[in-house]
Amino acid sequence: MRKLKVLDLFAGGGGFSTGFLQSKEDDLRFEIHRALEINDSACDTLRNHIGKERVIQGDITDKTVKSEVINSCKDVDVIIGGPPCQTFSLAGPARSGSKEMREKLKDDPRNTLYKHFFELVSSIKPSYVVFENVEGMLSKKAEDRNQLNAKQSQVIELVCDELECIGYTTRIEASLTERFQVVNAADFGVSQHRRRIIIIANRLGVDNPRLVSNVRKHRDVKKAIGKLPIRLPKITTNRLEILKNIDVILRNYEYCLEVFSRNLRELAERYFEGNENLLILSETVEADVQRIKQIKSDKINHLKEFLERYNSLVLDLGINDKDSSDKLTSHQSRDHNFRDIIIFILTKEGSNSSKFMNPLSDDYDKFLDKLYPYARNKHKDTYVKHSWNKPSNTILAHMEKDGLKFIHPDQPRTFTPYEAQLLQSFPKDYAFYGGRNAQYRQIGNAVPPLLGKVIGEAILKLEMM
């Protein structure tokens, strides 16, 4: 069996590498010769999956690191990678941050990391190069220093120009002008809408393969995570009395308690099989609600006691331990406050806060409109509840912050790292190292392995020609 050697730059948690390792064409395969990554947790993840001797940990801008990469990768056949480009993203500070933040991002050194990517390509000269980046790169402009008038050009065009200057063909088959492709991972079997720029380039002087969808129907969220065991969040009670808009909760005390109790009863019915203690939890909470909902005084402390009792019950009954295994260690919910729990429950499946605050929307909810705690003069889609029967929205590294754009379709919480992993099409037994936030970051930054597999197979077919 012949193998093409791969160098994975900005390797992260290994999504691109995993996809290439899954690719095959007759007796031709890939092997990950080296992977370069700077982050500690991501390097631990890579070492576990491809071997510690194949991982180079360091900064691509460091001359010593560059030399190590060049000296150890002189005979690699393929270089793959997606240089981080902070201001290219269509989500996050580049779009919605303050003016000061946007100005600061203009000078962010991460925006020029692609230049170091091409410096290594130029030195190593592999047969193939794959460049992946966010769709927002299409709107990024840069000074074209080859023009006397310093004309503003698309960065993506300059990337293609750079590849061609160092001997690569970027032209795509069946086109005279196209040099890059914008693809949606959902079109390749990933349970997630994720639009990305892909450039495939080669030194063979032939046209590059066009990536064509290989699915007739998009894979939905339910197919990816619908069979996982239920996970209930711990509800934080610290500083509950100063939680933003807690006064709205207290003015609607009985209603909120009933909403919470009813949701638990519905979950107990839906997830009863294999987790009978859910019914005990639901019945106990319902009895507690009936006992305290009529209390008119000192509501905040009674609410605290109620939530702490709920937390203890979830723990004592082992609700979140059912069907637990080594591969499900990352399938645990982050903590949430009671206000957000109520918002999660009352937001309709497949809807968001922009809709429930809009009186003209069918999803408008007067109570949620009052309960919404964030500024309304920026973006209003802070809360997004996913739908079982559609692919998820783009899984983002921002999940390490709060995850509010990734609310589970029927459980009152945001996605666990394991759910994010499956929505990204990582194998079920793939292990991410580091704490929960580090895992979210690796998963959110990754190239979905199924998309990487399609790209890898396209290159193998080109090699077989």
Q: For the chain, give every domain's residue range.
A: 2-219+446-464, 227-387
Q: Please tell me the predicted confidence (pLDDT) of residue 141.
A: 57
Q: Please tell me the predicted confidence (pLDDT) of residue 296.
A: 82
Structure-derived torsion over alpha carbons of residues 407, 328, 84, 167, reported in degrees to the nearest 10? -130
Q: Please tell me the predicted confidence (pLDDT) of residue 140.
A: 59
- CA–CA distance, 354 with 332 (Å, rounded to integer): 28
Neighbouring C-beta atoms of residue 29, cutoff 10 Å: 17
Q: Please tell me the predicted confidence (pLDDT) of residue 110.
A: 52
Distance of CA 10 to CAs 51, 147, 433, Å?
A: 17, 31, 17
Q: 157 is written with which tokens?
A: 């065009």
Q: What share of the chain is helix, strand, coil (3-state, %, to 5)?
A: 45, 15, 40
- The predicted model scores a pTM of 0.91
- CA–CA distance, 369 with 343 (Å, rounded to integer): 10
Q: 92 is written with which tokens?
A: 């996050």
Q: Determine the residue type at 263.
A: N
Give the SS3 label for residue 352.
strand
Characterise 6 by phi-psi region: left (phi > 0), alpha (psi -120 to 50), beta (else). Answer: beta
Label each residue of 224-256 as H, E or C.
HHCCCCCCCCCEECCCHHHCCCHHHHHHCHHHH
Q: Which residues are catalytic?
A: 85
**Tokens 């001997």 sit at which residue?**
167
Q: Please tell me the predicted confidence (pLDDT) of residue 86.
A: 53
- CA–CA distance, 232 with 219 (Å, rounded to integer): 25
Q: Which residues pair with 339 in a beta bridge?
A: none
- CA–CA distance, 103 with 108 (Å, rounded to integer): 9
List, run by run, the mean pLDDT of 10-residue segments along the chain (465 residues). Answer: 97 98 96 98 98 97 97 97 63 42 44 84 98 81 44 72 95 95 97 97 97 95 97 97 97 96 97 89 96 89 97 96 81 97 98 97 98 90 97 96 96 98 97 97 98 98 93
Q: 122 is written with which tokens?
A: 């130029």
Give the SS3 label for residue 69.
helix
Q: Which fold has domain 2-219+446-464?
A: Rossmann fold (3.40.50)
